[in-house]
Structure 1
């Protein structure tokens, strides 16, 4: 059974207890994302200055943490799922978001990951605090993130069922990659598509099969943004 945490737990309103020195954190691993864009997401190269192809963005994402920590708490081996809803230009904010945290996480790791993905921990994900106006909630869930050849799969209980594959190029052995970008997730983004992209969570019912997807190796840290 999923353990739900009410939205105020991940509210972006800062309490005095959270206004002091920030905890050092780092995450290395891989991220996949599937959105409702009909072709490769224009936000990657426009850095959010170009509107999504449908005029708004709805997306799910999965993060596989290969190595990571929040202070002295080990995050290695854990998975995270995200739900994102953006009403227009990414850079203009007013996002809604929700987080799913691996049910294998300790309580310390659970709380640390909420700090990271709410943006309160600053650093690479600090933009969430600036752009997300409403956190819908955070909950523990059984999350699996699988790699099979070039295929990536994310399962978040019955809430997210996702599978993405790189778009095939002229040389099928080489992925199509947007390189040297200033995209916040990472500089090299593999162009992909979703063979399955279904969300049933927080009142959202989305089916993004065949829509835009991304694959990215991540190397994030805080409280300072890595250079």
Structure 2
């Protein structure tokens, strides 16, 4: 197994209500799940291959709870990546060179039946985790926006966090509101739904825990 490590910022948006039961082993409140994910890799490597500064994204869809499988997915990889970097990122994103179910990539990959061919494209993505502001644009394919949840009475931003010390994606996530629209090769759309911002620090064995 080739050892890898990624450290960066994430924005993800699904069709669940704010809170997302799936974060706690519950069932999706819409019956099925659809989600968009993006990550800006601040530091990373796969073996001797440097992955720092690259961006990745993905679209997922499941007809029921994620753990029941039958999922569909497509991976987007920064077009700036070399062939070696592309192969490394796709290996990580599909659960390769990873302990079983140790990362969100490995867990999700185990539930996907239909994996579209990866797309190597320009990825416009920025995320401010603490401010809960983010934006993803992949022309002709998918767009996603994340923003603070607003108080229904006075419009003030609402801040909430999820802490999962034994999770497989993050230790702490900032809960936000999001909207996403994907048109190719998968079609999904949702708005005013659960979003999360997080600082991810993952390796072949799972989350790299804060000391």
> TM class by shorter-chain length?
0.7 to 0.9
Instruction: Give 1:67 deviation, angstroms.
Output: 0.3
Secondary structure, counterpart of 1:113 in structure 2: helix
**Is the 1:99–1:139 contact (alpha carbons within 8 Å) kept by the matching residues of 2?**
yes
State whether structure 2 residue 160 is matched by structure 1 residue 176: yes
Computed over aligned residues only, the root mean square deviation of the Cα atoms, in angstroms, reads: 2.1
Give the alignment partner of residue 154 of structure 1, picking from 136, 146, 151.
136
**Is the 2:148–2:158 contact (alpha carbons within 8 Å) kept by the matching residues of 1?**
no
CA distance in 1, matches of 2:28, 2:98: 26
Secondary structure, counterpart of 2:187 in structure 1: strand
Q: Structure 1 residues 168 and 180, CA, compared in 2 at 3 Å: closer, same or farther?
A: farther
CA distance in 2, matches of 1:107, 1:133: 25
Matches within 5 A, 1:75-94: 75-94=51-70
What TM-score results when the alignment is normalised by the length of structure 2? Answer: 0.85
Name segments (4+ residues, structure 1) moved above 6 Å: none
State whether structure 2 residue 93 is matched by structure 1 residue 117: yes
What TM-score results when the alignment is normalised by the length of structure 1? Answer: 0.80
* 2:14 aligned residue: 35
Q: How far does the alpha carbon of each residue in 1:55-111 deviate from its partner, in whole angstroms, 9 at most, with x for none?
A: 000111111111000111111111101011112122222222110000011111101
Instruction: Give 1:174 deviation, angstroms.
Output: 7.6
State whether structure 2 residue 190 is matched by structure 1 residue 208: yes
Secondary structure, counterpart of 1:37 in structure 2: coil
Give the alignment partner of residue 164 of structure 1, picking from 127, 146, 160.
146
Alignment: residue pair count? 199
CA distance in 2, matches of 1:181, 1:42: 17
CA distance in 2, matches of 1:147, 1:215: 8
* 2:75 aligned residue: 99
Instruction: Give 1:198 deviation, angstroms.
Output: 1.2
Give the gaps of 5 or more residues in structure 1. 1-21
* 2:27 aligned residue: 51
Give the alignment partner of residue 181 of structure 2, picking from 183, 191, 198.
198
CA distance in 2, matches of 1:64, 1:101: 11
CA distance in 2, matches of 1:129, 1:121: 13
Q: How far does the alpha carbon of each residue in 1:190-216 deviate from its partner, in whole angstroms, 9 at most, with x for none?
A: 11111x4111111x3322121211112
* 1:69 aligned residue: 45
Secondary structure, counterpart of 1:114 in structure 2: helix
Higher helix share: 1
Secondary structure, counterpart of 2:106 in structure 1: helix
